[in-house]
């Protein structure tokens, strides 16, 4: 489904792919989608991918333009990823999805050049990966229960809520599963409604709540956290490391996504800043192929929760990389990101 390769310069090529979804996917603030677009890049043998989100003001078109802009400005020494990304940072401004694709390709390139997988490049223990959750998109309670039955292979569920029937949905799911459930409201609740709903959800064995309220309402998040017994994880409220200090007293943890933060270097920065503030950490994803998912999976020995199921929700994955063993992420041992 990819478009023809387009040549941005001597050394960046990119390709847009329509990822077809197994099921129409719906969350609280957006209509149902049948497919999502990603854009992959290649820089001197290293490959990366990004899944730009309109919610953050980016599309595959904005990423393409950003790649054309940065290609002639890339420094010659691509091994010095910090230097290259400093140039990318000043040149590309708010194009975080584009930055993420470039950063990912540079890491893949360096790992391949040195002959080591990313986890080894970073000194991480690949045995320490968590289990990923598997997402159940928003739908009628009976449809979500049916999807849950089909998710038998996955030991943890992430359930999208944010509708008047939220509690009814969780009741329907609890009729068919006793697995741990993470709930993601995708900004849909008011602080007061969140406190009320979370009190009920806790009775159904829900383990954590992601982004209950509006992204910019930090006081609302703080109110929810102070009046809830479940951990509150920020997603839409936290994009980059610089967002974390202001959030530290408002939530219990953060969801890091490469598409939001601009790549693996910034994700590492976020992990360190979050730990300094005593926060829990989840690594999440968009609808992505195994290329983007595997790159993010290399970070997971450092985090508490993984929600890396974007590649499991599509029918035309172009790559093979991270695999699952009863839900636990198994990192490929090949150099770089390690996808084929
Ligand atoms: Mg989320």
Please write the tens of the pLDDT for every residue from 29-45: 666 678 899 999 999 99
> Measured in angstroms, how far is the CA atom of residue 236 from the centroid of ligand 1?
7
Could you give the CA distance from residue 151 to residue 157 in angstroms, rounded to a whole number?
8
> Model confidence at 2, in pLDDT bands (50, 70, 90)?
very low
Q: How far is the CA of 321 from the centre of ligand 1 (A)?
A: 23
* DSSP secondary structure letters along 243-271: GHHHHTTT-SEEEE-HHHHTSHHHHHHHH
Q: What is the pTM of this model?
A: 0.94
Mean pLDDT of 186-207: 97
Res 34: pLDDT:
83
| Tens of pLDDT, residues 102-151 | 999 999 999 999 999 999 999 999 999 999 999 999 999 999 999 999 99
Q: What is the CA(204)–ligand 1 centre distance, in A?
A: 20
Tell how far the Cα of 55 is from the centroid of ligand 1, in angstroms. Answer: 12
CA of 189 to the centre of ligand 1 (A): 13
- Give residue 123 CA to ligand 1 midpoint distance, Å: 28
Which chain residues have CB less than 5 Å from ligand 1, an ion?
184, 210, 235
Helix axes 264-276, 96-114, angle to 10 degrees: 100
For all residues of the chain together, what is the average pLDDT?
Answer: 94
């Amino acid at each position: 489904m990819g478009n023809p390769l387009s040549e941005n310069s001597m050394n960046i090529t990119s390709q847009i792919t329509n990822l077809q979804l197994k099921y129409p996917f719906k969350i609280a603030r957006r209509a149902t989608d049948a497919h999502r677009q990603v854009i992959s890049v290649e820089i001197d043998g290293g490959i990366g991918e990004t899944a730009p989100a309109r919610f953050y003001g980016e599309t595959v078109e904005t990423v393409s333009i950003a790649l054309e802009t940065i290609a002639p400005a890339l420094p010659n020494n691509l091994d010095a990823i910090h230097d290259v990304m400093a140039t990318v940072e000043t040149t590309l401004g708010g194009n975080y999805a584009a930055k993420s694709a470039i950063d990912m390709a540079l890491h893949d390139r360096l790992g391949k050049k040195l002959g080591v997988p990313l986890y080894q490049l970073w000194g991480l223990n690949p045995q320490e990966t968590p289990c990923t959750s598997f997402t159940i998109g928003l739908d009628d309670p009976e449809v979500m229960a049916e999807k849950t039955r089909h998710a038998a292979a996955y030991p943890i569920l992430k359930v999208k809520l944010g509708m008047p029937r939220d509690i009814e949905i969780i009741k329907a799911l609890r009729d068919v599963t006793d697995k741990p459930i993470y709930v993601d409201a995708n900004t849909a609740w008011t602080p007061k409604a969140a406190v009320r709903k979370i009190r009920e959800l806790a009775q159904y064995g829900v383990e954590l709540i992601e982004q209950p309220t509006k992204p910019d309402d930090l006081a609302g998040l703080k109110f929810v956290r102070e009046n809830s017994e479940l951990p509150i994880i920020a997603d839409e409220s936290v994009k980059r490391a610089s967002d974390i200090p202001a959030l530290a007293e408002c939530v219990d943890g953060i969801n890091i996504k490469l598409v939001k933060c601009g790549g693996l270097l910034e994700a590492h920065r976020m992990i360190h800043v979050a730990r300094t503030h005593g926060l829990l950490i989840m690594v999440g994803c968009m609808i992505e192929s195994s290329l983007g998912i595997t790159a993010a999976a290399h970070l997971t020995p450092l985090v508490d929760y993984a929600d890396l199921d974007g590649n499991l929700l599509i029918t035309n994955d172009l790559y093979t990389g991270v695999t699952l063993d009863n839900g636990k992420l198994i990192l490929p041992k090949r150099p770089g990101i390690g996808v084929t």
